[in-house]
């Protein structure tokens, strides 16, 4: 197993109005998107070709939605990429670009 193509920690993952975790992880590895709790338990996963990632119409810049296996998850990442060497989740824009790139849907 190689280095993940995308990894974010400290991500709030929710479904509708329910928060599933406040410090979760999002990974794209070997063509799969994985949503994990802070303890590493899997919330959901799917091949990136079957995932739809986008920005919600309304809300802050640090949010993204991911449609996985017919369920819509709201991901709260950082509003801006953290400085090099600083902890914190990457920007939602970077997550959406990583999903599209991994699925082969543009650069």
Q: What is the pLDDT of residues 45-97, one digit of tens each?
A: 999 999 999 998 887 778 999 999 999 999 998 766 777 777 666 788 899 99
SS3 call for 14: strand
Helix (H) or strand (E) holding 95: helix 92-103
User: What does pTM read for this prediction?
Assistant: 0.85
Per DSSP (E only), the strands in the chain are 6-15, 18-29, 32-36, 42-47, 52-54, 63-68, 71-76
Q: What is the pLDDT of residues 63-75, one digit of tens each?
A: 999 999 999 999 9
């Amino acid at each position: 197993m190689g280095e993940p193509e995308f990894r974010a920690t400290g991500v709030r993952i929710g479904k509708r109005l329910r928060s599933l975790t406040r410090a979760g992880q999002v990974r794209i590895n070997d063509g799969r998107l994985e949503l994990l709790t802070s303890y590493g338990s899997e919330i959901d996963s799917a091949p990136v070709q079957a995932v739809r990632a986008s920005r919600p119409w309304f809300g802050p810049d640090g949010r993204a939605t991911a449609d996985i296996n017919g369920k819509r998850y709201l991901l709260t990442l950082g509003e801006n990429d953290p400085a090099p060497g600083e902890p914190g989740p990457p920007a939602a824009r970077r997550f959406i670009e990583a999903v599209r790139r991994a699925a082969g849907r543009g650069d």
